[in-house]
Amino acid sequence: MRDADSITVDPHKSGYVPYPAGGLCYKDERSKHLITWTGPYIDGGAGDVASMGVYGLEGSKPGAAPVAAYISNEVIGLHRGGYGALLGEAMFTSVKMYAHWVTMSLDSDVLIVVPLVRLPAERAGRPAAEVEAQRRFVRERIRDRPNRELVQDAEAMALVREMGSDLSINAFACNFRVTPGGEANTDVSEASYLNKRIIERLSVVRVDDEARDKPVLLMGTELDARRYGACLRAFKRRLGLDEDDAGGLSALCNVSMTPFPTTGNFMTELAEAFQKVAEEEVQNCWKRSRPAPAIHSFVMQGIKTLHLTYMPMFNIGSYRQQLIISAKLPENVTAAYAKARKANPAAVFTVHTTEKELLSTMLQKRQCIVDIHEELPMLHGVAGKGTNFACPGVELTNITIIKHTSLAPRSLAVDLAASMPFFLHGASNELHLEHVILKSPSMQLTACNVQLRAKRPDGGEFTLDSSAIVNFCDMREYAMHPLRKGLHGPLFKPGQTFNVVIYADPFCGQHGIKATDIRTLMDKLDYKRPLARGTITFGHSVYLDDAHLNRHTVPDLCVTPKERLTKDELLLSVTEDYRTLTEDIDRVVSHHSVLTALDVDTHIISKANIRGKFALQRGSEAVDCNALLLAQPAVHISRFALRGPSDERSRDLAVRQGWQDAFSKALVDHEVRSANSSHV
């Protein structure tokens, strides 16, 4: 410290005093004049009187905090029997907590917990078997032993003095196994998601968070790849993650400030409470990363040749792909759809599978039963009584894959594309565009029936033989991020014309039932030999989405009858009460509190007031009536019921709005009580 030019002293950390008691010490007294600020009211006009308030940007400073620091130093004492004993016990608490973090993976077949600070055997570069033996020694001889017994064990105390952090802060991170007792997840973004979910569960941020309901309080931090470099690579490797993954890692911290938790069994209770929460969140990570049977949705393009573009999501395993297919509908349905499209050319028509199934199963069978809707439905399988076109229970056949790319985290590009790439597909008289999604977050942009005017390098007219990649020359995607409908919607409106360059798709012929990794697409384009140059004009129908694609969670809920009904009877009943049902659901899902809910299904069920003969039920609890004859039928709530954005900024605003609403309610309640008391 003697070589430092300045030292910051923060008694609010290890000094146990309020926040504004911090101070700054300069080696050279003249340095305090580098930043000064003053006003005539600070020193009462006595300009020659030195005032602490003129130094630094803070200006006026409270006097209570430094007084608290002074009194604490006087009462507790700056000696071995005062702060020395207090901080020594706090450090011992920190080491005991470290013992729980470093051994927790031994007690769980799904959770992996690794402290940032390595065990002494790890630091010494000992073999893995010796590191594991030391970890088991910590569990058996240190972690759960009473203090009196532990301090009499010389071998254990020697390790206690060597292990853990130099401070009372333990930084650590969690990962999970893809199956109980199986291999560790290697995806950094999935591990970060787990740690963020744990932080949300074990911190007080929302207005309805109760500190007394939190078994343990933790802080979160971000380990940036550029800042932490080799340290982060080694930490990822210890967690079982891919150390070559360039992404940052979300981590957790606990601060041990009190000397008391090591008595009794309190530390073990804290660790067990944390492990319970973390293992519950592992279940959510499995849902997020594993493909599961689901209702799959597409945007309809074209009439003569029907093309369907998949409606993906980055953060749900069942929807992590960008897919374009061609298919056929029955002639009468095609005619009805063509008539509806002609009547409302700007509308977006969508297709949804009627039953939950794996997308790979649907692609293998090359057929399925679907519902067709104008715009996005609130309930699946129900036509409703609105004016929008709807056609439930239609057979979709001759499914053919045109494009199928993976949106799993490891398949996404590290950097944003310089230009803005699109898939160009369809026939010469019906061409369509689909924005190529290469990085998260992003926006789905689907344009139907675009007009292409392009010339080949030899001057001839360009015609599309197979799908190609179109680059919008004047669009710089890296400069436009985050892509948002509200910001960029006017730019991509119907009738807009763009300068384009068309290239051959370097992944042409590689698209099948298994999604293809195309993160290197922009590097593989043959920029020296474009197929054509020209312009593209959007047609009447343009679909933009920045909400569903980037959403972290979706409702998995069903409307079930309170009395026993057949499937057909339920559909008829729901159709009759469609407006009432959707209004009840929309009232809940459109409220800002749904963005901050830790469990969106529980939140909607608790807040919804479904009237009449229906009830809400989790989709996982409902049994398909086709699978079990005696089971109660159900109508699935669409994942598009949540319509607003769910990015980090939107969630932060929702948290603030929750606090503002609570303050406004408390103010009104106070005014009502005051008015009532004045009349008494």
Q: What's residue 628's pLDDT? A: 41
pLDDT, tens digit, 9 for 90 and up, residues 72-125: 999 999 999 998 988 888 888 889 999 999 999 999 999 999 999 999 999 999
Strands 219-223 and 249-255: antiparallel
Same-domain pairing of 307 and 270 = no
**pLDDT at res. 680:** 60
Flag whether pLDDT at 624 surpasses 50. no
Confidence of residue 456 (pLDDT cuts 50, 70, 90): very high
447 has a pLDDT exceeding 70: yes
Q: Please check whether residue 331 lies inside any domain of the structure.
A: yes
CA 663 – CA 583 distance, rounded (Å): 28
Among 624, 641, 658, identify where a domain stops: 641
What does the alpha-carbon distance between residue 464 and residue 676 come to, in Å, rounded to a whole number?
Answer: 77
Q: Is residue 487 over pLDDT 70? A: no
Contact 478, 415 (CB under 8 A): yes
Q: What is the mean pLDDT of the chain?
A: 88
- Does residue 519 fall inside a structural domain? yes
Is residue 226 within 8 Å of residue 233, measured between CB atoms? no
4-15 pLDDT, tens digit per residue, is 998 888 888 788
Residues 410-420: tens digit of each pLDDT: 898 888 888 89
Indicate if 447 and 331 belong to the same structural domain: yes
Clarify whether residues 137 and 184 are in a common domain: yes
* Mean pLDDT, residues 496-516 taken together: 94
Name the token pair of 592.
């800002």
Q: Is the pLDDT confidence value at 41 over 70?
A: no
Closest by Cα among 264, 279, 277 to 96: 264
Same domain? For 49 and 102 the reply is no
Instruction: Report phi then psi at 379, rounded to 5.
Output: -125, 140
Does 626 map to a domain?
yes
Domain range spanning residue 474? 297-545
Say whether both 574 and 600 belong to one domain: yes
Q: Which residue has the tokens 């790319």?
A: 405
One domain for residues 499 and 585: no
CA–CA separation, 445 vs 415, rounded Å? 20
Q: Point out the domain boundary residue: 270, 289, 308.
A: 289
pLDDT digits (tens, 9 = 90+) for 632-661: 688 889 999 988 777 777 878 888 888 888
Angle 266-289/85-103 helices, nearest 10 degrees? 40
In a domain, 460, yes or no: yes
Q: Do 44 and 101 share a structural domain?
A: no
Q: To the nearest whole percent, how much of the chain has pLDDT over 70? A: 92
98 and 210 assigned to the same domain: yes
Judge if 51 and 168 occupy the same domain.
no
Query: Do 265 and 190 fall into the same domain?
Result: yes
In a domain, 648, yes or no: no
Whether 665 is in a domain gets the answer no
Residue 421, strand partner residues = 471
- pLDDT grade, residue 626 (50/70/90)? very low
Is residue 65 included in any domain, yes or no? yes
Domain count, the chain: 4
Quick one: 356 and 226 in the same domain?
no
Q: Do 147 and 108 fall within a single domain?
A: yes
Domain membership flag for residue 95: yes
